[in-house]
Structure 1
Amino acid sequence: MHDLDHTLISCPVQRLYKCDVNHTAFVSESGRVQLDMMSHGEVVMKQYFVRTLLLVMSILLMGCGGGGNENASTGTVALAISGTPTPSVRQGEAFQFTPTTLGTGLTFSIQNKPDWMSFDSTSGQLSGTPTSADVGVYTDIRISVTNGDTTATLGGFIITVKSVSVTLNWTAPTARTDGTVLNMTEIGGYKVYTGPSVTDLTLVANVSDPYTMKYEFNTLGEGIHYFAVSAYNTSGVESSMSVVVSKTI
């Protein structure tokens, strides 16, 4: 057994090291190296502990870092596209849809785009205002996005363009209620009625040309609409209404 004075030695040593077979040095709380006695087995165990601790710290440091949705194996950022467009739009109304995406440096493309729509390849926005000629169902519309390495696709979704246009057509009367012949020159025009029920009709238009025998509605809301037409002569005398017809929008 060696007699060793526990003298504090001022030197900048900052790691565990073996002084001789039975002694080792370590940094005290004061920041100076202090000698202490221990068995050889204790030295080995402490050295092993330090190596293990450094290894664990190294692993933890390797696992740190930013990137959000970065793929640990490839280093690439995740790519995603999502969103649910409005499934229907009425003619004359504006439609717009922009998908939600995850990623950077994105470029968009589309498949089966309706002709009445416009598409922005930088944002993926789909927009347009359909007319009466565009009424119908458009299926399997797909929007894709790529970052140059990976591609993601949304779809295929369906957009239905609903008609809000109703065109009434009628024929001019050819006889009076007493059965006598009615000439076209005696007809002054027509009155158009519409409403929410057969018994609740309101005058909405006066067609003053006897040779114009149609009228178009373009601003009707959703629901069941009822229509009827009457004729009046050049003296302003009005006939009874026609048979009531209906249209569901």
Structure 2
Amino acid sequence: MIKCTKLVGICLLLLSLHGCKVQVSAPAGGSVISGSGNHNCASGRTCLVNVPGFGFSDTFTAVPKAGYVFTGWATGHRHFCAGETGSCVINPGPVASLESSDNSSLVKFYRDMRRMLADPQAIFYLRPVFSSEASRSATLSWSVPTTRANGSALAFGELAGYEIYITTEKSGTSKVIEIKNPQKISHNVSDLSPDTYHFAVSALDTNGLVSELSAVVTKTIR
């Protein structure tokens, strides 16, 4: 299994000079461990991994600290496994036949990369992105309604609860959370995946009537 074939291909080309170097950067939210155990990188450290030849193969896994979650490998110039959310496999060996591929675009890519070898000390990067679990939640609050849409009074005893409507932009999902306690005027929505969320609240009375939606509030989870 090869992750990020083109970057591994560049790394393979560099092997013809001094080998490929991969800089692993583990931010404060967690660490990176390797399947071999030889290239572990602790939280807050930057580690340099030498890929000396075709026989190199290792799997890198991001491990978040308590209170953090792994959201994917960072994107950017010369970044391995950019945007992926699983373990990152670095294994240049299977790319050895790239230049003789029947795929003309791969052959062109290989030959173009050979012209980039002026700097044999070029470094590639592997960096996990961790986010705080607290930043993956949204706390909503509202006021107890005292009037109906027609302007008549709404007694507290007539109030049955609330409904929170949640929709997402990226995944296109929707969800309704029922709040059956009319005295509750806030709610925390936790464990939100990266997306842009839209929230609105409505009130319900004891006869099952539902109010109009509140103003929509939006939060983006990265």
Superposed pair shares fold, TM > 0.5: no
Which TM-score tier does this pair reach, normalised by the shorter chain?
Answer: 0.3 to 0.5
Q: Comparing both chains, which one has the higher relative contact order based on Cα–Cα distances under 8 Å and sequence gaps of 6 or more?
A: 2
**Structure with the bigger percentage of helix:** 2
Question: Larger Rg: 1 or 2?
Answer: 1
